[in-house]
Amino acid sequence: MSAYDELMAFQRETEALGQVMGRLGWDQETVMPPGAAEQRAEEMAALDGVLHRRRTDPRIGEWLEAARPESAEAERQLHKIRHRFERTRRVPEKLSAALARTTSLAHRIWAEARATDDYALFAPKLAEVLGLAREKAAALSEDGNLYNALLDDYEPGATEAELEAMFGALRPRLVALRERVMGSDREVPRLGWRFDEAGQLALSTELARAFGYDSAHGRIDKAVHPFSSGSGLDVRITTRTVPEDPFNCFFSTIHEVGHACYEQGIDAAYLLTPLGRGVSMGVHESQSRIYENQLGRSRAFTGWLFGRMRDTFGDFGIGDGETFYAVANRCAPGFIRTEADEVHYNLHVLLRFDLERDLIAGRLEVPDLPEAWNARFEADFGLKVDRPSNGVLQDVHWSEALFGYFPTYTLGNVYAGCLHAALRRDVPDLDAHLARGVTAPATAWLREKVQRYGGLYEPRDVITRATGEAPGEGPLLDYLDAKFGEIYGV
Amino acid sequence: MSAYDELMAFQRETEALGQVMGRLGWDQETVMPPGAAEQRAEEMAALDGVLHRRRTDPRIGEWLEAARPESAEAERQLHKIRHRFERTRRVPEKLSAALARTTSLAHRIWAEARATDDYALFAPKLAEVLGLAREKAAALSEDGNLYNALLDDYEPGATEAELEAMFGALRPRLVALRERVMGSDREVPRLGWRFDEAGQLALSTELARAFGYDSAHGRIDKAVHPFSSGSGLDVRITTRTVPEDPFNCFFSTIHEVGHACYEQGIDAAYLLTPLGRGVSMGVHESQSRIYENQLGRSRAFTGWLFGRMRDTFGDFGIGDGETFYAVANRCAPGFIRTEADEVHYNLHVLLRFDLERDLIAGRLEVPDLPEAWNARFEADFGLKVDRPSNGVLQDVHWSEALFGYFPTYTLGNVYAGCLHAALRRDVPDLDAHLARGVTAPATAWLREKVQRYGGLYEPRDVITRATGEAPGEGPLLDYLDAKFGEIYGV
């Protein structure tokens, strides 16, 4: 066997073990008996140890040195392996273990602090996590910018400067749109009805199928928080139901189907290789968001959904498709990011992006974080945060040291905007299909242009190749202005 | 850390990874998407490689050498680790890999051969598996007896000679009982009714609870073949339903609950250690069989079950508890071991025990196996085997090289007989509880006398300590004679 083949065989086993780790996570959130948590933690820690030892195995260095790739794809596989190997090695074992231990503890304390609305309980642990994250960033940094070093875990190649420029252009137009919408005198009602769980789950499964989710290589279960999990031939999603809010179920299913279809759509030749997973969190989120919003919440598709909901639940008090479309896109400021509409969502993310950069750069201290959060929130949303669980304690990310993760949500929306503009150009009659509940012309386009490549190209390049131009915030803003300007008559 | 502590920490991780492997097996049989099999095989192979490397890690030898156990329990932990380590190391890597590869292929070919009733398709692969099993036995054997070397994987300490003596005493009395029962003119009807699945599953769950299954540390799912899986804090079982045969569902649930309660009942101090699992297949089977048969099919308990079935399904054509008791214990010769009644079951096992010893000893060749099987079957059961799937191809074991496994089924029944006699002596009013669906006096006795010890004592010693005398076939035979003599009036 050549060094390349040996390396890839070793890597393939590591990828397979990584999938096992993902499956344990799935199991934990869906079917695990309540009393098994303690044992599960040991199982996952043991497997994590195995993965860590494999990822730092010195033979990888030798194989990388000796490997002679014979194709551009092989070159790219090596690049991905080398990049990961070097980053893993640069973090001292002791720091890595401290991060694992501290985030595990911090996660539990965060959950307790959120439940009891007690930021002071969480603050000391967050300060510890932040300190370790900064240490890690310093160990990884190539250009002296700590935030860039962290970003790379989620969005390889992205930089703070580039995101700052993009988000800086995004923010004023978003704020302006939000103000117009909030100033509108058009009243969009909420759904005022209870929708039975069986009906929601049946329609949710129908939606997953309509968006191309392949159930032969996945399954749908209920979980407290919807998620997608796994790559290759086993990509599972979860959903949830809320009696008075079936959109929560339907659009989170479509969102997770977007993630899952990305994984399911990757070229089978990349199975269990570094190219066999979505290339970045941003590109991943572009798929989930375009499925959920640009397609799922479009006028055409909601027209079809309105009919299916009437078939399933009977008359639920909305008389026509136009009203239903507005209801499905209703805008209102709220405290919680994950419940935000398309207009407000990115403002939630930008707030976190700015605050976490300040934390990492040392411009903001942990004790001062709630005040900074609340001030910014009131300025952006016109609402006073009433308690920490509606503010700084709402998201899990920082307790897990995921600094650099948040911006990928907005980057995903920006990418979705670019892809959507190109898709509409390439498939001019898309609405005629969506109006019949048929998404195939869109999902096939996304598979062809984005999904099948997996990790073959750099994230930005995936979007550039798919759309013919470098990604920017313009298309997303144009889309939002047009859509919400029309719905709210502003 | 002392050498002992280091070894135990290493072992704990290995045990945790072994649990992960078990969970993958559970997932595969219950919830895995149909198209995921190929990837799952790679995931399991990768994890198996990790486990094999850990189990043969040379550091184990060093730790064993240096460890100074400070208690009898620590001594026993070391004994278990040493025994496993030495056996694993004695099988050459190449042979171990050949066995894994060949049995994996043989399993698939066996399934195809069984489905098409084509023994000739399976025979060459079986011959290969047998050859490798003999090689493995030769590598492991300490006394020149190949079969003993294989037995040790399933029933540590058991010997062919001892089992031969025990089963030799069992067989004539079983045959005599069978003949009396078959000669009886008492007619025991079958259930002639269809029982809806929801009712079966609900009552099955109730039975699991009644027998002490702890759902906080386990769950019940449907699978093609019922099984129990996992140790410690996560012990899952499966069941199945057949519309016209609810006993299939109920008694296989109770059987698996017996296995699961053994694992759940082990002293929590042994979690994720070599003592934290049932000590042998024979003792495991003693728990499943005493739950299923001596308790579950007792007159007292079936009286309660009869009432619960009438509550659940209404009148199903059986008028009284006495008839119901006979129906639940109906005897009839049949081709399939797993469907056999208590009188016939061990005759199925003894047939396999004798044939597989002949195969391992080289007294019987693979091409001659069906003829030997069919002749023995006709002699024992008075039935001509009509096709290989009703004969030599019915069981999976030999395709997986599990020679030495079969006798543990009958050993389990023998142990169950011993335990049952002691239990009746210690809890004289047991039937009064069982008649109300209360099994706690029996299950608590079994937990106290057997289950909590896990791997602390040798299998035979577990039974001796629980009953006060060395295990023998007498109590099982007395129980069978009395029970079926009465039901059939013979």
Query: Which residues in A lie closer than 8 A to residue B35 (C-beta atoms)?
Result: 214, 216-217, 233-234
Residue A64 to residue A59: CA distance in whole angstroms: 8
Q: Which of B36, B217, B272 comes nearest A233 by C-beta?
A: B36
Assess A27–B contact: CB distance below 8 Å, yes or no: yes
Q: Which of A33, A215, A271 comes nearest B39 by C-beta?
A: A271
Distance from CA of A235 to the nearest CA of B (A): 9
Contact B216 A35 (CB under 8 A): yes
DSSP letters along A7-34, please?
A: HHHHHHHHHHHHHHHHHHHHHHHHT--G
Distance from CA of A209 to the nearest CA of B (A): 15
Assess B31–A contact: CB distance below 8 Å, yes or no: yes
Instruction: Report the topology of domain A103-490.
Output: Neurolysin; domain 3 (1.10.1370)
Query: Which residues in B lie closer than 8 A to residue A13 (C-beta atoms)?
Result: 42, 45-46, 49
- Give the torsion sign (CA, A368, A369, A370, A373): positive
Q: Which of A12, A40, A46 comes nearest B13 by C-beta?
A: A46
Contact A217 B36 (CB under 8 A): yes
Assess A51–B contact: CB distance below 8 Å, yes or no: no
Distance from CA of B440 to the nearest CA of A (A): 21
pLDDT at A187: 94
Query: Which residues in B lie closer than 8 A to residue A49 (C-beta atoms)?
Result: 13
Q: Which of B12, B13, B42 comes nearest A272 by C-beta?
A: B42
Interface of A with B in 261-280 (CB under 8 A): 271-272
Q: Which distant-in-sequence residues (6+ apart) come within 8 Å of B142 by Cβ? A: B148, B149
The token pair that represents A265 in the structure block: 């759509």
Distance from CA of A387 to the nearest CA of B (A): 34
- Beta strand pairing call for A236-239 and A228-229: antiparallel
In three-state secondary structure terms, A139 is helix
Distance from CA of A267 to the nearest CA of B (A): 15
Distance from CA of B216 to the nearest CA of A (A): 5
Query: Which residues in A lie closer than 8 A to residue B216 (C-beta atoms)?
Result: 33-35
pLDDT at A378: 97
Strands across the sheet containing B236-239: B220-222, B236-239, B228-229
Q: Which residues of A are catalytic?
A: 256
Contact B233 A35 (CB under 8 A): yes
Kindly state the helix (H) or strand (E) to which residue A164 belongs, with its residue range: helix A160-183
Q: What is the pTM of this model?
A: 0.95
| HEC readout, chain B | CCHHHHHHHHHHHHHHHHHHHHHHHHHHHHCCCHHHHHHHHHHHHHHHHHHHHHHCCHHHHHHHHHCCCCCHHHHHHHHHHHHHHHHHHHCCHHHHHHHHHHHHHHHHHHHHHHHHCCHHHHHHHHHHHHHHHHHHHHHHCCCCCHHHHHHCCCCCCCCHHHHHHHHHHHHHHHHHHHHHHHHCCCCCCCCCCCCCHHHHHHHHHHHHHHCCCCHHHCCEEECCCCCEECCCCCCEEEECCCCCCHHHHHHHHHHHHHHHHHHHHCCHHHCCCCCCCCCCHHHHHHHHHHHHHHHCCCHHHHHHHHHHHHHHHCCCCCCCHHHHHHHHCCCCCCCCHHHCCHHHHHHHHHHHHHHHHHHHHCCCCHHHHHHHHHHHHHHHHCCCCCCHHHCCCCCCHHHHCCCCCCHHHHHHHHHHHHHHHHHHHHCCCHHHHHCCCCCHHHHHHHHHHCHHHCCCCCHHHHHHHHHCCCCCCHHHHHHHHHHHHHHHCC
With CA atoms as reference, the chain B residue closest to A232 would be B39
pLDDT at B22: 97
Write down the ipTM of this complex: 0.94
* Tens digit of each residue's pLDDT (9 = 90 or more) over B216-259: 999 999 999 999 999 999 999 999 999 999 999 999 999 999 99
Interface of B with A in 307-326 (CB under 8 A): none
Query: Which residues in B lie closer than 8 A to residue A17 (C-beta atoms)?
Result: 43, 46-47, 50
Q: Which of A27, A49, A234 comes nearest B39 by C-beta?
A: A234
Contact B232 A32 (CB under 8 A): no
With CA atoms as reference, the chain B residue closest to A51 would be B50
Assess B49–A contact: CB distance below 8 Å, yes or no: yes
Contact A20 B271 (CB under 8 A): no
Interface of A with B in 186-225 (CB under 8 A): 214-219
Q: Where are the domains of chain B?
A: 3-146, 147-490
Contact A234 B20 (CB under 8 A): no
What B15-18 contacts at long range (C-beta under 8 Å, 24+ apart), as own/partner pairs, is B15/B272, B15/B273, B15/B274, B15/B276, B16/A39, B16/A42, B16/A43, B16/A45, B16/A46, B16/A47, B16/B272, B17/A43, B17/A46, B17/A47, B17/A50, B17/B47, B17/B50, B17/B51, B17/B54, B18/B51
Assess A303–B contact: CB distance below 8 Å, yes or no: no
With CA atoms as reference, the chain B residue closest to A236 would be B33
With CA atoms as reference, the chain A residue closest to B34 would be A216
Contact B272 A42 (CB under 8 A): yes
Query: Which residues in A lie closer than 8 A to residue B237 (C-beta atoms)?
Result: none
* Tens digit of each residue's pLDDT (9 = 90 or more) over B364-421: 999 999 999 999 999 999 999 999 999 999 999 999 999 999 999 999 999 999 999 9
Testing the interface with B: which of A47, A231, A233, A264 to mutate, by most B Cβ within 10 A?
A233
With CA atoms as reference, the chain B residue closest to A234 would be B36
Measured in whole angstroms, the distance separating CA B89 from the mean position of its chain's CA atoms is 27
Distance from CA of A282 to the nearest CA of B (A): 26
Instruction: Report the topology of domain B147-490.
Output: Neurolysin; domain 3 (1.10.1370)
Residue B420 to residue B434: CA distance in whole angstroms: 14
User: Consecutive 10-residue runs of chain A (490 residues): their mean pLDDT?
Assistant: 97 98 96 94 94 96 97 98 95 92 93 97 98 98 96 97 98 96 96 96 98 98 96 97 96 98 98 98 98 98 98 96 98 96 98 98 98 97 96 97 98 98 98 98 98 98 98 98 98
In three-state secondary structure terms, A219 is coil
Residue B43 to residue A438: CA distance in whole angstroms: 35
Interface of B with A in 221-260 (CB under 8 A): 232-234, 236
Catalytic residue selected from B128, B155, B160, B256: B256
Contact B39 A215 (CB under 8 A): no
With CA atoms as reference, the chain A residue closest to B50 would be A50
In three-state secondary structure terms, A221 is strand
Contact A33 B217 (CB under 8 A): yes
With CA atoms as reference, the chain A residue closest to B42 would be A16
Cα→Cα distances B185→B100, B173, B180, B334, B415, Å: 51, 20, 10, 19, 32
pLDDT at B371: 98
With CA atoms as reference, the chain A residue closest to B9 would be A46
The token pair that represents A383 in the structure block: 């609402």
pLDDT at A447: 98
Contact A215 B24 (CB under 8 A): no
Residue A94 to residue A105: CA distance in whole angstroms: 17
pLDDT at B254: 98
pLDDT at A246: 97
* Tens digit of each residue's pLDDT (9 = 90 or more) over A209-251: 999 999 999 999 999 999 999 999 999 999 999 999 999 999 9
Q: Cβ of B387: how many Cβ atoms within 10 Å?
A: 12
Distance from CA of A212 to the nearest CA of B (A): 16
Distance from CA of A380 to the nearest CA of B (A): 45
Question: What's chain B's average pLDDT?
Answer: 97
Count Cβ–Cβ pairs < 8 Å, chain A vs chain B. 112
Interface of A with B in 414-453 (CB under 8 A): none
With CA atoms as reference, the chain B residue closest to A24 would be B20
User: Consecutive 10-residue runs of chain B (490 residues): their mean pLDDT?
Assistant: 97 98 96 94 94 96 97 98 96 92 93 97 98 98 96 97 98 96 95 95 98 98 96 97 96 98 98 98 98 98 98 96 98 96 98 98 98 97 96 97 98 98 98 98 98 98 98 98 98
CB B63 within 8 A of CB B4: yes
For B298-327, b where at least 16 C-beta lie within 10 A, e where not — what string? bbbbbbbbbebbeebbeebebeebeebbbb
